[in-house]
Amino acid sequence: NIYEKEQANHKKLLEIPSRYENVKVIDTAKAMSIGVVSCLFEGYGSDSIGQILSEQNVAVRTGLHCAPTAHKFIGTFPAGTVRFSVSYFNTDDDFDVLEAALDYIELNS
């Protein structure tokens, strides 16, 4: 049951940012995924988006995530990405907060 809920939450996390034209989800279809989704935001650095998301009550990791070689490989070096993560414990309310934050970014960019 835990694994199924984690997978369902990860699927939601992939779907939500994919709805926004200014957000590019880094393709992880070929990799094993563990509830982490990396994104790029058109026209913004990862640190700037991280600050905006923080102000909107969304916690993320930004930058190279201790993996500069991986970012060189996928073409996101030196700025890195915005990394979202979910687990079993995330709720629909968490996803609503994320959508509201992404709406805010889209409307104010």
Q: In this predicted model, what pLDDT tens digit does every residue of 15-29 receive, in sequence order?
A: 999 999 999 998 766
**Cis omega before residue 78 (within 30°)?**
yes
pLDDT in tens, 34-70: 788 999 999 999 999 999 999 999 999 999 877 888 8
Residue closest to 57 by CA, chosen among 98, 89, 93: 98
